[in-house]
């Protein structure tokens, strides 16, 4: 009831009551009493009318507020759905479509038209099965998709699509759409053409394999070359120096009575010659120790370590628990080269006073650790090098260690704390 109607009705009642009072006033004796009664009734009515008017005004106000609020919410909702629609429509990589539980299409963005080759107006309202009549998708695949979405929240698959340009690969993900109570009410389908990405991945994989093959060949060539130089130094330069020393001895004998002063010079020369011969042996041994094949890794390591200790004064602890068992020649050579490069790095970069080396077997693997207490370095620079491939900043020592371990199907790690230590861990399968 409107306020105006209520007011008019009130006024009518008031006129009626006044008229009635006037009618009965002169006639009856009880008129005074009745007049009072009527006056009271009139007052009550007036009060009630006032109350009703106020109540009505309050509910009218709240109704007005409700309407404004609803209008605002509807506007916000429509803006939101427009916003969402814009986002989905402008998705340039993903084909996005939604369906109800029967796979009836409810939304189809422009990218879907491009990737799947249907117009939105032709597919909206139709089921996916109707659209894919040509492809003849087996019904079990839909059941499987629903089960996966219910169980794992998603269903993933790749579609291979033949076209004039060749095969296209489309990675697809189906996820659930839920209502406010969490009930599954439909499906959202996200599809992306990954043909180009696959080609790039394949090329990266192929160039990675090529790079690995090349470094393996390079390391083999490097080993052969070292072996050749080692032989040359030992057999040629070493032999010449030895002959020279013998000749010197003969000259010394002849001069001993004739020119004793010259003998002293010859003795000094001989000492230098012996040092040069020793240096030749060391060089030849380090370049390619023939003993590695005969004596094995542990023995050779012992010899190299003891020579290194003498030359540098660095304290070295070497422990091994291989119990005399030899490793495959390629693994022994790899570990020997790793030790050499590690020692060379310690000499060049570490300023260390102590090195701990451990060689042991654990669960079918051979572990080789080399830890120095030198100044360490920032290993994040190495990650940068491997990411950018820029080796101009550093050398190739660590890289070749890593490759040698990879060629043995092992794992190579290097950890370092600036100002503290550098730790190399190598794990290779024993067999
Ligand atoms: N034990 C170590 N202590 C401190 N820094 C090290 C150690 N080993 C390696 N480094 C750091 O890592 C870098 C890379 O080492 P890597 O052996 O690859 O190259 P390099 O020794 O500089 O050159 P190359 O080995 O080719 O002669 C070094 O330049 C050095 O900064
Ligand atoms: Mg190095």
Q: What is the CATH number of the domain that holds 352?
A: 3.30.565.10
Q: Are 94 and 73 in contact (CB under 8 A)?
A: no
Q: What separation in Å is there between the alpha carbon of 131 and the centre of ligand 1?
A: 62
Ligand nearest to the CA of 372: 1
Q: Give the span between the Cα atoms of 270 and 249, in whole angstroms.
A: 8
Residues 85 and 98 in one domain: no
Using CA positions, which residue lies closest to atom 25 of ligand 1? 397
Q: Is the pLDDT of residue 172 over 90?
A: yes
- Which of 288, 307, 324 terminates a domain? The answer is 288
Pocket mutation for ligand 1, best pick of 345, 371, 381, 414 (most atoms within 8 Å of C-beta): 345
Closest residue to atom 1 of ligand 1, CA basis = 346
- Tell me, in angstroms, the distance from the centre of ligand 1 to residue 345's CA: 5
Q: Are residues 301 and 258 in the same domain?
A: no
Mean pLDDT of the chain: 88
**CA-nearest residue, atom 30 of ligand 1:** 349
Question: Are 277 and 313 members of one domain?
Answer: no
pLDDT in tens, 244-253: 999 989 999 9
Q: Yes or no: say if 279 and 317 are a contact pair by the CB < 8 Å rule.
A: no
173-190 core/surface letters (b: 16 or more CB in 10 A; e: else) = ebbbeeeeeeeeebbbbb
Nearest CA to ligand 1 atom 13: 394
Rg for the chain, CA atoms, rounded: 48
Number of domains in the chain: 4
421 and 330 within one domain: yes
Residues with Cβ within 6 A of ligand 1?
345-346, 348-350, 372, 374-377, 394-399, 422
pLDDT at position 141, please?
A: 85
Strand boundaries in 312-353, DSSP class E: 315-320
**Within this chain, do residues 304 and 383 fall inside the same structural domain, yes or no?**
yes
Name the residue at shortest CA distance from atom 6 of ligand 1.
349
Give the domain extent around 268.
Answer: 199-288
Among 288, 323, 357, the domain-final residue is 288
| Closest of 334, 340, 338 to residue 408, by C-alpha | 334
Q: In CATH, what number is assigned to the domain containing residue 127?
A: 3.30.450.20
Instruction: Say if residue 428 is in the same domain as residue 304.
Output: yes
Residues 178, 65 share a domain:
no
d(CA 31, CA 27): 7
pLDDT of residue 337: 93
- Are residues 304 and 405 both part of a single domain? yes
CA atoms within 13 A on the CB side of 113: 14
Measured in angstroms, how far is the CA atom of residue 344 from the centroid of ligand 2?
6
pLDDT digits (tens, 9 = 90+) for 84-136: 888 777 778 899 999 999 999 999 999 999 888 899 999 999 999 888 766 66
- What is the model's pTM? 0.62
Q: Which of 378, 395, 414, 422 to mutate to test the pocket of ligand 1 (most atoms within 8 A of CB)?
A: 395
Q: Look at residues 193, 283, 276 and name the one whose alpha carbon lies nearest to residue 230.
A: 283
- Choose the final residue of a domain: 127, 162, 193: 193
| Helix or strand run (H / E) with residue 426 | strand 421-429
Domain match, 420 and 300 both: yes
Give the integer Cα–Cα distance in Å for 366 and 301: 15
Do 45 and 126 sit in the same domain of this protein? Answer: no
Q: Is the pLDDT higher at 74 or at 7? A: 74
Judgement on whether residues 254 and 317 belong to the same structural domain of the protein = no
Band of pLDDT at residue 335, cut at 50, 70 and 90:
very high
Asked if residue 86 and residue 127 are part of one domain, the reply reads: no
């Amino acid at each position: 009831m409107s306020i105006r109607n209520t007011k008019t009705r009130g006024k009518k009642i008031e006129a009626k009551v006044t008229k009635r009072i006037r009618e009965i006033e002169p006639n009856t004796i009880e008129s005074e009493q009745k007049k009072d009664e009527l006056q009271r009734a009139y007052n009550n009515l007036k009060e009630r009318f006032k109350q009703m008017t106020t109540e009505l005004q309050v509910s009218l106000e709240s109704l007005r507020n409700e309407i404004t609020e609803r209008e605002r919410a509807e506007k916000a909702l429509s803006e939101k759905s427009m916003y969402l629609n814009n986002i989905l429509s402008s998705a340039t990589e993903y084909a996005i479509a939604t369906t109800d539980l029967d796979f009836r299409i409810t939304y189809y963005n422009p990218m879907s038209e491009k990737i799947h080759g249907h117009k939105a107006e032709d597919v909206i309202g139709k089921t996916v099965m109707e659209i894919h009549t040509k492809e003849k998708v087996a019904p079990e695949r839909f059941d499987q998709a629903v089960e996966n979405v219910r169980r794992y929240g998603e269903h993933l698959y790749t579609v291979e699509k033949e076209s004039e340009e060749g095969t296209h690969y489309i990675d697809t993900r189906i996820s659930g759409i839920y209502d406010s109570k969490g009930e599954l009410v439909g499906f959202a389908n996200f599809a992306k053409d990954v043909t180009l990405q696959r080609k790039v991945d394949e090329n990266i994989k192929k160039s990675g394999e090529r790079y690995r093959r090349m470094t393996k060949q390079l390391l083999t060539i490097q080993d052969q070359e070292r072996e050749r130089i080692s032989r040359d130094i030992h057999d040629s330069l070493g032999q010449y120096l030895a002959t020279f020393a013998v000749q010197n001895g003969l000259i010394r004998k002849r001069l001993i009575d004739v020119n004793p002063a010259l003998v002293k010079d010859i003795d000094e020369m001989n000492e230098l010659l012996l040092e040069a011969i020793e240096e030749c042996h060391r060089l030849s041994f380090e370049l390619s120790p023939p003993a590695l094949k005969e004596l094995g890794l542990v023995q050779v390591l012992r010899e190299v370590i003891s020579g290194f200790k003498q030359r540098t004064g660095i304290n070295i602890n070497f422990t091994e628990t291989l119990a005399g068992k030899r490793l495959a020649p390629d693994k022994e050579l790899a570990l020997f080269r790793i030790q050499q490069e590690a020692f060379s790095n310690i000499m060049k970069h570490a300023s260390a006073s102590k090195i701990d080396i451990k060689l042991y077997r654990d669960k079918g693997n051979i572990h080789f650790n080399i830890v120095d207490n030198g100044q360490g370095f920032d290993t994040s620079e190495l990650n940068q090098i491997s990411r950018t491939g820029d080796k101009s900043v550093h050398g190739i020592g660590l890289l070749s260690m890593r490759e040698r371990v990879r060629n043995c199907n092992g794992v190579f790690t290097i950890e370092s704390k600036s100002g503290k230590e550098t730790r190399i861990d190598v794990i290779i399968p024993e067999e």
